[in-house]
Amino acid sequence: MSQDQIGSLINQLPAGSAPVKANTETKTTALASPTPATEQKLALTSRGKDIPLNTAQPAATGSRYLQVGAFRNAKEADSIRARMILMGYNAEITKITVNNVEINRVRIGPFKNEDELNRSRTELSKAKISSTIVR
């Protein structure tokens, strides 16, 4: 509906009735708790592939990780993972393929809050281990 059509409809209202203003609080609530159709749409577009609605996870602070390495050689990835475990971290290796090359990513986490993430990053830096924040 165009602006002209909306204006025309407003002008047709009886003289005693004023247009009702939108309640911005309602809009905020609607955004904070989306409908199932909206959730599914977000789930489908946020990851770039079709996924069932029940597996869509909202972005939370607990979903942040530190990537401490990415290696072609699985033995190197295992070595860094072992080092992270000895330092007291929960470390995982995930395999991805980039340009037909298998890469082994080593990540630690998830971190519950920003302070925990920053403390770990500082500790890794002191041990001369570079890290990158990932979700």
Residues in the chain: 135
Domain boundaries, the chain: 23-53, 61-134
pLDDT tens digit string along 52-72? 444 444 444 458 999 999 999
128: left (phi over 0), alpha (psi -120 to 50) or beta: left
pLDDT band at 35 (very low <50, low <70, confident <90, very high): very low
Query: What is the dotted CATH code of the domain comprising 61-134?
Result: 3.30.70.1070
More reliable by pLDDT, 135 or 22: 135
Given a contact cutoff of 8 angstroms between Cβ atoms, the answer to whether 93 and 105 are in contact is: yes
pLDDT of residue 14: 62
Q: Which range has the worst mean pLDDT, 8-17, 22-31, 69-78, 102-111? A: 22-31
In terms of Cβ atoms closer than 10 Å to its own Cβ (0-12, 13-18, 19+), residue 108 is buried
Does the pLDDT value for residue 18 go beyond 70? Answer: no
State the number of CA atoms in the 13 A half-sphere of 50 facing the CB.
0
pLDDT of residue 13: 64
Structure tokens at 111: 């971190």
Say how far apart CA 105 and CA 34 lie, in whole Å.
34
What is the DSSP pairing of strand 64-71 with strand 101-111? antiparallel
pLDDT tens digit string along 76-134? 999 999 999 999 999 999 999 999 999 999 999 999 899 999 999 999 999 999 999 99
More reliable by pLDDT, 37 or 77: 77
